[in-house]
Chains A and B, each alone.
Chain A
């Protein structure tokens, strides 16, 4: 990689705040501003403000946009109501996961697909290729949006203080939002925040209530400042990618490249529920159907390794790729993500473990941490679930 990393519209803001920056999927992103543990705790108890402008937005429009997405993705996208969002995946013909996605239905014939930064080009290319024969347009909108997220229990109040009672639609055909209380989890509607036109989505990757705000890049610095000011009394702090990772890990949310890969089908990842075999597709069977049916049958006949949670008894931290071992020392799985959990006060990990050792409470499970077998308790995911 000789290319200079890309910088978001908020780059100067991050530098002024003294952020520790890191290369992430070709982007120069804030890793943390101060202590990542403090940022994590702020999101769990108050609110955190994230720059997620590296995420890849792809707009799909046209009379057969829904048909295209039903063909291209494993979810039932035609069944998503306008103003709602859906977590889904795009698989290859072999059933391997190319990326996990959130798809927002902006209008009857307009969707926004949000891909992980590292996979945005792969998803764009796949959707473009799969659009052949459909009366639909796939548009690369990565440069059209900056993305800010406000996450945490105080996020509703902060957003409300910056939102008018009524706002004009940003996207033709989208319903205007009148009241943030009315915006459900996994919904996204156009509105304005601090006078900035935004697609306001009640989604996130932290396990907390929160919002993701898709705005024009030119508007991002002013919106960041307005959110910072509005959230000051509520304890909102800027948050980097480091705490985003520990937050999603505690919430048991998979991360592409760790729990999800092209070598993994949704069934191997314990996420078979996202595959909607029963959906009616108006453009042929969705890509990967045959392979995914086989993967489902395989999973039912002989359970594959299961994705489980591990909680440390000691303090050494498991890292991705470390072997999980059974009572006799034999390898029974592999850690996919691990970190000290600020909420639990102990190291935790997600790991794929042989089904025989995957039940919560299974005795004798350990993680090989650089040669030492550290005892770990097998638990069901997630580690943390917010009280509603």
Chain B
């Protein structure tokens, strides 16, 4: 599984980009996308919503199951990926790129986010 080095990861299988002017991009990992199977529906938090690290902020439906979407950090949602709402399969085909989910102006982050190598080891 390819986990980009420049990202950090949560144990709930989200990835988080380095903040640019305080704003980070969030998505789910390839590992999580593969485990879900074909994603057919995503419900994302609304722009302006406050999200809390480790708490549910949306959901991902696949053929066989529904999974909660967690935020890896605290903050305010500044943008959501409308492309992935229209075409949820982007989560499967490009989880680290076109399949990103939302952006957050980060106000706080937990101290247990993982590096790429740590996440690769975590997902074994």
Chain A residues close to B by CB (< 8 Å) = 20, 31-32, 35-37, 242, 246, 315-317, 319, 339-340, 347, 370
Contacts and interface: CB of A to CB of B under 8 A. Distances in A.
A315 B37 contact: no
A37 B66 contact: no
Contacts of B61: 315-317, 340
B79 interface: no
B40 A340 contact: yes
15 contacts: A31-B64, A32-B37, A35-B37, A35-B92, A37-B38, A37-B63, A242-B37, A242-B64, A315-B40, A315-B61, A316-B41, A316-B61, A319-B66, A340-B61, A370-B66
B66 A339 contact: no
B63 A246 contact: yes
Contact of A242 (B40, B59, B63, B66): B63
Interface string B20-35: 0000000000000010
A315 B66 CA distance: 12
A29 to B, nearest CB: 13
Contact of A340 (B43, B59, B63): B63
Contacts of A340: 38, 40-41, 61, 63
Contacts of A32: 37
Contacts of B37: 20, 31-32, 35-36, 242
A35 B59 CA distance: 20
Given A35-B92, A36-B38, 6 more contacts: A32-B37, A246-B63, A315-B40, A317-B61, A340-B63, A370-B66
A20 B37 CA distance: 10
A242 B62 CA distance: 11
Interface in B56-74: 59, 61, 63-64, 66
B38 A315 contact: no
Main secondary structure of the interface of A (DSSP, over half): mixed
Contacts of A339: 63-64
A347 B34 CA distance: 21
Contacts of B34: 20
Interface residues of B, number: 12
Contacts of A317: 40-41, 61, 66
Contacts of A36: 37-38, 63-64
A246 B62 CA distance: 12
Interface of B: 34, 37-38, 40-41, 43, 59, 61, 63-64, 66, 92
A291 B38 CA distance: 44
A34 to B, nearest CB: 10
A246 B64 CA distance: 9
A251 B124 CA distance: 39
B41 A315 contact: yes
A42 B40 CA distance: 18
A37 to B, nearest CB: 5
Interface centre among B34, B40, B63, B64 (most CB of A within 10 A): B63
Contacts of A31: 37, 64
B92 to A, nearest CB: 7
B103 to A, nearest CB: 23
A72 B61 CA distance: 42
A144 B79 CA distance: 58
Interface centre among A317, A319, A347 (most CB of B within 10 A): A317
B62 to A, nearest CB: 8
Nearest to B38: A37
What 7 A-B pairs have minimum CB-CB distances, sorted nearest first? Answer: A340-B40, A315-B41, A37-B38, A317-B61, A36-B63, A35-B38, A36-B37
A47 to B, nearest CB: 20
Nearest to B40: A340
Interface centre among A31, A32, A315, A347 (most CB of B within 10 A): A315
Contacts of B66: 317, 319, 370
A242 B63 CA distance: 8
A347 B61 CA distance: 11
A317 B59 CA distance: 11
Contacts of B40: 315, 317, 340, 347
